[in-house]
Amino acid sequence: MTSKAISRLVFLMVFVPLLFSSCGSEFSYSIETTLNPYKISPLTAILNIEAEKPCNVTIKVLGSTPVEQTFELNATRLEIPVVGLYPNTNNDVLVTLDYEGGEVIDTIKIKTENNPSHFPDITINKLNRNEMEPGMHACDIHFANNGKFNSGPLIFDDQGQIRWYLDLSFAGKMVSPFQRLKDGTILMVSRHVIYEFDMLGKPLRETKINTNYGMHHDVLELPDGNLLICVGIRGQFINLDGKKVRSDSDFIMAFDRKNSKILRVWDLAKHLDVSRNDLNFFRPGDWLHMNGLAFDQSDNSIIVSGKNQGLIKISWNDTLEWIMAPKKGWGKSGREGKGFETKPYILTAVDSEGGPYGKAVQDGSERAEEFDFPWGMHSPSIMPDGNLLVFDNGTFRHFENNIHYSRAVIYKINEKDKTTKQIWQYGKERGSEFFSTIVSDTDYLYNSNNILVTSGYLKQGTKLSAKIVEVDYETDKEVFEATLHFKSENGNKSSSWGQTDILYRSERLELKY
């Protein structure tokens, strides 16, 4: 929708404080508005401004949670992005033109349509803005599409109003995870394509990778701007009980984003026991189910979340550093099971005094009051103090299916002594109402010292939802909580792939261009 919003002469009074007098001047400008300029981001617009003098521009979307941004371009022709419009609203957008000798302040109207009906209803359960991390609530969300997923990352405000989203249904498949890179680029991947957009939905780059490599679950930006990506490689096998079984999701690749080439590859089967099946009841070839990566800048190492095995650390030079998992069931490494013994690399669980727990805790059949391993976990990340934060889904906790709670948990790892100590957790006390068998996320929030916890797949009877909770790390007090009530309009609401909506991850993010 394009409309001529303003074309006028404005009379300004420019005050000169030293003389306590004023003089008159005229300033001519025009503003043309284009809503949803790239057809996939309906709550954004472009303002095409022409002015008789070079200007800097500040725009402010008015409302309960205003969105304001200044663009210091000093030009007479300007293309100004607007993000954060309210849906189904004739939005008031304050436009300030600053030029040498004065400024113009005006308000334009931008009318938006309703959000899609399949979007979740959002309830704000708790809000203490003074104690929260700045920013809005960004969701890597995926909508049921009759056995597939349509991806639609969105951002909502403190009132539960969705203020930005991308409609990625054109991809015809899941595109994830949604993230904003250091340069402001929005990046996500499908199986064979890396997508890059700006906040208006403008395609910046679309990189097709070698189709023998299939990206999945996680991609993260390295300090040099390159990418670290979970992949499966076509034509790879493991040996299980003398049978050759096709494997998947067990490689990592470093990818040169600028030059679109694979830099190096790590084979996780080289370091782990592929036959260990204590937590893999679904598909033998999915022996690891890698779902998350963290990069440790202190020693250029990689921490891997393997849902069906545990947490693993490997060096950049491709050596195994440690395994954090119950000690039960570990044998020799390698695709043929003929590599080294993995047991010496398994961390020993210790208490607050550094004493090891008993065999039942080490083997994972029991938990201690102040320690449990993560089960079916997601989203590892390195805290500023070097500790490890992870979302412990709790699936098949203690190799059973009757203990139902999920939590965010922090471990302190002593690499020299090969020990792990649990130093913090949140979520266990909430029991089954916070239990997410799949997906989910944790993030350390640097400005507030809070922890953001996302339990992304909550089933209570026939109702499906997700919760985002911000917790004060020092006091364990919740300072924010939101519930996303899923509709799964285009699915049969079974737990099958693509039949229900899911919230994979969430972030605290400033809504800006």
Boundary (domain end) residue, out of 111, 143, 161: 111
Does 139 lie in the same domain as 35? no
Written as one string, the DSSP assignment of 288-333 is S-EEEEEEETTTTEEEEEETTTEEEEEETTS-EEEEES-STT--B-
Question: For the segment 445-494, what is each residue's pLDDT rounded down to a tens digit?
Answer: 999 999 999 999 999 998 999 999 999 999 999 999 999 999 999 999 99
Question: Does residue 225 fall inside a structural domain?
Answer: yes
Q: Give which of 447, 455, 442 is closest to 486, Cα–Cα.
A: 455
- Mean pLDDT of the region 82-96: 98
Boundary (domain end) residue, out of 111, 131, 165: 111
Model pLDDT, residue 347: 98
Does 8 lie in the same domain as 32? yes
CATH number (domain holding residue 90): 2.60.40.3100
In the block, residue with structure tokens 């919230």: 503
In the block, residue with structure tokens 């472009």: 46
Question: Does residue 478 fall inside a structural domain?
Answer: yes
Does 326 lie in the same domain as 275? yes
Q: What span, in angstroms and rounded, lies between the C-alpha atoms of 87 and 70?
A: 23
CATH number (domain holding residue 132): 2.120.10.80
For 463, counting Cβ atoms within 10 Å of its Cβ (0-12 exposed, 13-18 middle, 19+ buried), the class is exposed
Under the banding of pLDDT at 50, 70 and 90, the label for residue 21 is: very low
Does 137 lie in the same domain as 46? no
Give me 270's structure tokens. Answer: 């080289």
Question: For the segment 122-149, what is each residue's pLDDT rounded down to a tens digit?
Answer: 999 999 999 999 999 999 999 999 999 9
Domain that holds residue 52: 2-111
Residues pairing with 4 in the sheet: 32
Is 413 in contact with 324 (CB distance < 8 Å)? yes
Q: What is the pTM of this model?
A: 0.94
| H-helix segments, 309-418 | 359-363
- Mean pLDDT of the region 263-273: 98
The rounded mean pLDDT for the chain is 94
Structural domain total, the chain: 2
Question: Does residue 306 fall inside a structural domain?
Answer: yes
Does 387 lie in the same domain as 270? yes
Residue 374 has pLDDT above 90, yes or no: yes
Q: Give which of 294, 476, 273 is closest to 380, Cα–Cα.
A: 294
Q: Could you give the angle at the alpha carbon of 122 between the alpha carbons of 117 and 123, nearest 5°?
A: 145
Question: For the segment 104-122, what is each residue's pLDDT rounded down to a tens digit?
Answer: 999 999 999 999 999 999 9
Is 126 in contact with 481 (CB distance < 8 Å)? yes
Q: Give which of 411, 485, 368 is closest to 119, Cα–Cα.
A: 485
Does 479 lie in the same domain as 335? yes
Residue 22 has pLDDT above 70, yes or no: no
Q: What span, in angstroms and rounded, lies between the C-alpha atoms of 229 and 380?
A: 14
Model pLDDT, residue 253: 98
pLDDT above 90 as % of the chain: 93
Does 130 lie in the same domain as 94? no
Does 410 lie in the same domain as 335? yes
Does 360 lie in the same domain as 286? yes
Poorest-pLDDT segment among 22-36, 221-235, 333-347, 458-472? 22-36
Under the banding of pLDDT at 50, 70 and 90, the label for residue 283 is: confident
Does 160 lie in the same domain as 14? no
Model pLDDT, residue 25: 57
Distances (CA, A) of 223 to 42, 220, 248: 32, 10, 27
Question: Does residue 371 fall inside a structural domain?
Answer: yes
Does 403 lie in the same domain as 349? yes
CB within 8 Å of 243: residues ≥ 6 apart: none
Boundary (domain end) residue, out of 51, 81, 111: 111
Does 93 lie in the same domain as 129? no
Question: Does residue 116 fall inside a structural domain?
Answer: no
Residues pairing with 292 in the sheet: 305
- Mean pLDDT of the region 430-440: 98
Higher pLDDT, 6 or 513: 513
pLDDT above 70 as % of the chain: 95
Poorest-pLDDT segment among 163-172, 192-201, 231-240, 274-283? 274-283
